Amino acid sequence: MSRLGKVPLKVPQGVTVTVADGKLTAKGPAGLLQVTMDPAAPVKLSPGEVLVTRTGESAHERSRQGLVRRMVANAMAGAAKGFTRTLEITGVGYRADVRGSDVLLTLGYSHPIVYQLPAGVKASVEKQTSITLTASDRQILGEVAAGIRKLRPPEPYKGKGVRYGNETVRRKAGKAGAA
């Protein structure tokens, strides 16, 4: 077994984990999440921990064990406390506003963009240039953050656009200019 794959996952306080019909369900204060199990990586439950094993030693089974273990860990962490992602908006006149389940973005186009948030994802705007997304499902949260960033990715010359909170944009020098 891999060194990481054989380490059991501790179930967080307040989270209940059940396995039925090929699905693992994690229920906690932040929500209810389900993970579809892979037959190559069965899950064993014991009091207070979850162990992901594998049925053989092929490359497929080894890779599935790590994938299922990470998905189970994300489901338990999401059910316990949820996940957050921060987006920063840089540019003159660029701003964001939240109206219900819609995010209204002004990103330098001739029209404002309305981004519809899926169920389970919440957005808040502290200042007009910072969006904080919160969800219990890490995968959906990442897809929403990538979808908003895709509307105006940061450009390398002035750095204008939507970027992740921890992202650094490599800046390029502009024209040398006539000297």
> What is the DSSP code string of 4-72?
TTTSPEEPPTT-EEEEETTEEEEEETTEEEEEEPPTTS-EEEETTEEEE--SS-SHHHHHHHHHHHHHH
Instruction: Tell me the sheet residues that pair with 131.
Output: 87, 125
Q: Does the CA dihedral 28-34-35-36 come out positive or negative?
A: positive
What CATH code is assigned to 83-164? 3.90.930.12
Q: Which of 85, 69, 92, 63 is nearest to 144 (CA)?
A: 85
| Residue range 9-80, CATH number | 3.90.930.12
**Tens of pLDDT, residue by residue, the chain (179 residues):** 457 878 888 998 989 999 988 899 999 998 899 999 888 888 888 888 998 888 888 888 888 888 899 999 999 999 999 999 999 999 899 999 999 899 999 998 999 999 999 999 999 998 889 999 999 999 999 999 999 999 999 999 988 999 999 888 888 888 876 55
Sequence spans of domains, the chain: 9-80, 83-164
Domain 9-80 and domain 83-164 have a common topology: yes
| Sheet (strand 95-99) strand order | 95-99, 102-106, 113-116
